[in-house]
Structure 1
Amino acid sequence: MQILTVEDVVTQTKPPKLWLNVAHDMFFSQHNLSMRTFVLSVSRRVIVNYVSSPEVGFLRSIVSRFRTGPTKLVFQFLRPDDVEPSTNQKYGSLLRNLTFIKTFATGILVPKYYIWPVDSSQYLQNHTSLVLDAHAAGLEVFASDFVNDDAALPYDYSYDPLAEYLNFIDNGNFSVDGVLSDFPITASETVECFSHMGKNETVQANLLVISSEGASGDYPGCTDVAYNKAVSDGVDILDCPVQITNDGIPFCLGSINLRDRTNVAQTDFGNRATNNPDLNIENGVFAYNLTWAQIQTLRPAIFNPFSKFSLFRNPRARNDGKLMHLSDFLALANNASSVSGVLISIENAAYLAEKQGLGVIDAVLDALSKAGYNNQRGKKVMIKSSDSAVLSKFKSSSNYELVYLVDEDVHDILNSTILEIKKFASSVVVSKNSVFPTDQALVTGESRVVPKLQAFNLPVYVQFFRNEFVSQPWDFFSDAYVEINTHVSTMAINGVITDFPATAAKYKRNRCLGDRDRPLYMAPVQPGGLISLITNQFLPPAEAPYPVLRENDVTEPPLPPVMERPPTQNGSTETGPTPPNGQPTPVASALLSCFAILLPAFVLC
């Protein structure tokens, strides 16, 4: 990429408007170079719409030449404690004298925290009066420092840069006159497609928004607060990944291992940590080893899938809410008029039946029946599993939509495999990588998985869509809306499964989708377009292609019968700490008890 002159930029890109920023006039003057002469010269050859500078002296030196004409002068504020060189005043002091700024500028450019301050915990404080004060003084206000890949984005925005822009232009109190952004695609779509948009706007895209543990990007997953937030955000389908307790109670939680989604490691139940090779889990405290009464004493914990990047979700709410019995979840969904259905996910059914004597399928069928879902047509019921035997069991006893989860990344699927899937499922869930394969976070192309499945009349839902920029390939400009739009516009997927239902719900209602001629910032990304710009010497090492999904990958043996559970001496079936094979241990020696106490201490170091 070559360095461009101002004239090159105008000639090659033909921008609708041109903004020149002169950051160091005093420095250039010390080297006998005149930025004033340069700017005046350029303005004779091309139309310059804005000239900004953080130096009062420079703007005052050119103001008389630009009092008429198209060019506006903008004073740029740096950090409040930085000193402006020509007045020797701090920028924070100059901010209190906007009438003085008005004598040589028509606008101000300020870091965004001048308008919405952020506290030390990375949450927003109340907005300042700067925009209103500046407008009262006759100054336009431009906010700067907007970037999509910002790990320090205030938690209030749920890692959604578009939500941040809206807070500056559509908050009901004031609006800035412009923003300075490293990602203009997001700023442009915010203004044109999403501003002044209510939750009841007309749906523009036929896309099912399915939650992933409720609004688990904002609250601990599968809690009452996460589900209520998902409903208020506009979710279509509420999901419940079903786990089952030692006393046979089905409840919603995103993992069979309580350590993943609760504070169990900090409780006395932490001494029940064990390895389970059948589930390929080490040091787990398993839901089937605790009763529902015991699990209710635990506090839910928000899941942070990108903690290795120091990206954490809503710390203030890290333990908010309460876990939900399946029957309570079904009642909540049934009472939410805007929710069109529920998605019940079932995994590990064979293990629970054969090794723990727990019939999760029967428990789910019983809960659905008691909640009235078998006798009403208002709510859709979807059953999702990666085990074809689970779906086959439901097919023989219900009329629910059966959703097969392809639990690995694949780059193709055989027609014979699809025909096999149709024997037990009526729709399919695949990963994002199975739609647009990636290599080192760069999209390498597109697969035929989605169109092949749809050709056999199988709707396709794609997971997981998340707001954190590290969850998206670089091709999508760290913009969750660009990512969703590319999947919808290019592949016509039928639904998204997301931790942030608000994002997908806003996408499907944005007014630009209804335009006959959509703007460029609402056009899909060309798959493989970014990686094609990288020269061979800088390309990442080629990764092995994802496998092809074959018939033997989707067929499972029938579910085993539920093992009869022998009662304990007191007549209950509660189990105690479990050994490495995951089975109950009726007698624990003093040595084993000591080991059970020491193990969690080691794990938590």
Structure 2
Amino acid sequence: MSPFTTLNGTPPLVIAHRGASGYLPEHTLEAYVRAAELGADYIEPDLVATRDGVLIARHEPNLTGTTDVAAHPEFATRKKTVQVDGRAEEGWFAADFTLAEIRMLRAVQARAERPQAFNGRFMIPTLAEILALRERLARETGREIGVYPETKHPSWHAERGLPLETRLVALLQEYGLDRPDAPVFIQSFETANLKALGALTPVKKVLLIDGDTVTPDGRVVSGRPYDFVLSGDARRFADLMTPEGLAEIRRFADAIGPWKAYIVPALKTPSGPDTLLAPTSLVGDAHAAGLMVHPFTFRNEASGLAADYHGDARAEYRLFYSLGVDGVFSDFSDTAVAARDELFSAAGPR
């Protein structure tokens, strides 16, 4: 009998969130290689489109925080304020650059508390390059390393004549990954996007569930999927985390990717770290609906850990693994793997 209480009884996946982003600038080939070396099961590229329709890996269409674009005087006039999902953002946007121009940029570490020594060294990769890398890493490591792409702001891209779905599926087909058992999960914060993808590809799909804060009684306050905003659906992400909402999600997705406070709420305190509240029933409810659960985002820095973990990032993983999550999005794949190995060793063979 498996020691894991995941949906299928398999070990929870370690998903390298933006690659080994705790160590290297995110969404670079070097960060994905490092993640595989650290034992990640899946590498995660966030996808945005260039002006000429090429899918590249960036966390947001806005390039300002993750590249050195501001240091390029030739692009100074490209800086603008743009509405992204109803919010004004100032910066430089991938949709205004050709791939040739993107090739002139280099990645930088987005978090000030993380190593900055690699800033300006690594290129911005295309999805095609990432899929070729995945193939090579799987061959070299002898492990089935998967890819977990996110379609970023799909409605926003569609409004600009740069739909992400067909471009993504075409590349999956090119690399032999367009099949139900492929080591692929496509994720999105929008339901309409996943439904459209359902008509295009049989690979596994994940609805991401965002949240903002936690109330004293443990409820997550959340925003709305942007396709709900566009269609006039008043429901929020939190409204989908009921048994009825999960059953609805199961009709077009195979998993949910919730903010981890939906599973273990953490209450903000005025003068110190968050404190944990009792776990919710979400993992069990999702499993009952036939959905896997992949919460985000796990980080090592003490500033991101609740007081209950006493600075031990592995303690957070062990708690979530023990609750039966099917995978975790982690900036530090080695820590996630170590905690999983510890839990398995402690459980022993069954």
Q: What TM-score, normalized by structure 2, do the two folds share?
A: 0.82
How much has 1:376 moved relative to structure 2?
Answer: 9.6
Give the Å deviation of 1:361.
1.1
1:245/1:292 contact within 8 Å kept: yes
Q: Is the 8 A contact 2:144 2:183 kept in 1?
A: no
Larger radius of gyration: 1
Following the alignment from structure 1 to structure 2, what is the Cα–Cα distance between the partners of residues 349 and 432?
A: 23
Report the Cα offset of residue 320 of structure 1.
Answer: 3.0
In structure 2, how many angstroms separate the alpha carbons of the residues matched to 1:505 and 1:353?
A: 37
Note the C-alpha offset of 1:227.
0.7
Aligned 8 A contact 2:15 2:40 in 1: yes
C-alpha contact 1:238 1:339 (8 A) present in aligned 2: no
Residue from 471, 495, 500 that aligns with 2:332: 500
Corresponding residue for residue 380 of structure 1: 183
Corresponding residue to 1:327 among 125, 128, 139: 128
Label 1:463 to 1:375 Cα distance change in 2 as closer, same or farther (>3 A): closer
- The corresponding residue for 2:223 is none
| Contact 1:431 1:462 (8 Å CA) reproduced | yes
In structure 1, the residue matched to 2:93 is 286
Specify the alignment match of 2:23 in structure 1: 218
Matched, 1:391 2:222: no
Offset at residue 407 of structure 1 (A): 1.6
Aligned counterpart in structure 2 of residue 340 of structure 1, from 145, 153, 169:
145
Q: Aligned equivalents of 2:67 and 2:18: distance in 1?
A: 14
Alignment of 1:87-236 (within 5 A): 206-236=11-41
CA RMSD of aligned residues (A): 1.9
SS in 1 for 2:64: helix
Rounded to whole Å, the distance in 2 between the matches of 1:516 and 1:452 is 24
Alignment partner, residue 468 of structure 1 = 301
- Describe the shift of the 1:257–1:278 C-alpha distance in structure 2 as closer, same or farther (beyond 3 A): closer
* TM-score where L is the length of structure 1: 0.48
The 2-side partners of 1:506 and 1:516 are apart by 14
Task: Please tell me whether residue 427 in structure 1 is matched to residue 260 in structure 2.
Answer: no
Once residues 400 and 372 of structure 1 are traced to their aligned partners in structure 2, the CA distance between those partners, rounded to angstroms, is 11
Distance change in 2, residues 1:339/1:500 (3 Å): farther
Q: 1:406 aligns with which of 209, 229, 253?
A: 209
SS at match of 2:211: coil
CA distance in 1, matches of 2:317, 2:170: 36
State the 4+ residue runs in structure 1 displaced beyond 3 angstroms: 409-412
Letter in 2 for 1:318: N
Provide the rounded CA distance (Å) in 1 between the counterparts of 2:200 and 2:256: 20
How far apart are 1:281 and its partner, in Å?
3.7
Distance 2:300 2:292 in 1: 24
1:36-47 equivalence runs, <5 A: none
Partner of 1:550: none
Structure 2 residue aligned with 1:418: 246
| SS in structure 1 of the partner of residue 45 of structure 2 | strand
Aligned to 2:162: 358
Task: State how far apart, in whole Å, the 1-side matches of 2:81 and 2:152 are.
Answer: 18
Give how far 1:264 is off.
Answer: 0.8
Quote the residue 1:249 is aligned against.
Answer: 54
Is 273-282 or 470-479 further displaced after alignment? 273-282
Using a 3 Å threshold, how does the CA distance of structure 1 residues 516 and 466 change in structure 2: closer, same or farther?
closer
**1:298, CA displacement in angstroms?**
0.5
1:313 pairs with 2:114: yes
CA distance in 1, matches of 2:344, 2:53: 47
1:243, 1:251 within 8 Å by CA — same for their partners in 2?
A: yes
Contact 1:205 1:509 in 2 (8 A): no
Matches of 1:468 and 1:281 in 2, distance apart? Answer: 30
Whole-Å Cα distance in 2 between the matches of residues 373 and 458 of structure 1?
Answer: 21
Q: Where do residues 534-549 of structure 1 align in structure 2 (5 Å cutoff)? A: none
Please report how far the alpha carbon of residue 261 of structure 1 lies from its aligned counterpart in structure 2 after TM superposition: 0.8
- Say if 1:516 and 1:227 are closer, same or farther in 2 by CA, change over 3 A: closer
Preserved contact between residue 235 and residue 502 of structure 1 (Cα < 8 Å): yes
Counterparts of 2:162 and 2:310, CA distance in 1: 46
Q: 1:509 to 1:320 in 2, by over 3 A?
A: farther
Unaligned ranges ≥5, structure 2: 1-8, 213-218, 221-237, 269-273
> Is the contact made by 1:461 and 1:494 (CA closer than 8 Å) also made in structure 2?
yes
Per the TM alignment, residue 214 of structure 1 is displaced from its structure 2 partner at its CA by 0.5
Percent identity between matched residues is: 26
How far does the alpha carbon of each residue in 1:210-235 deviate from its partner, in whole angstroms, 9 at most, with x for none? 01110011111111110110010011
Q: Which has the higher contact order (CA 8 A, sep 6+)?
A: 2
Instruction: State whether residues 317 and 340 of structure 2, in contact with CA within 8 Å, keep that contact through their aligned partners in structure 1.
Output: no
Give distance in 2, aligned partners of 1:259 and 1:278. 14
Q: Offset at 1:372?
A: 2.1
Distance 1:393 1:283 in 2: 30
Question: 1:256 touches 1:286 (CA, 8 Å); kept in 2?
Answer: yes
Q: Does 1:450 align with 2:269?
A: no
How far apart are the structure 1 equivalents of 2:144 and 2:119? 25
Give the Cα–Cα distance (whole angstroms) in 1 for the partners of residues 261 and 292 of structure 2. 17
Aligned partners of 1:219 and 1:516: how far apart in 2?
33
Distance between the aligned counterparts of 1:345 and 1:215, measured in 2? 16
User: 1:339 & 1:295 partners in 2: Cα distance?
Assistant: 30
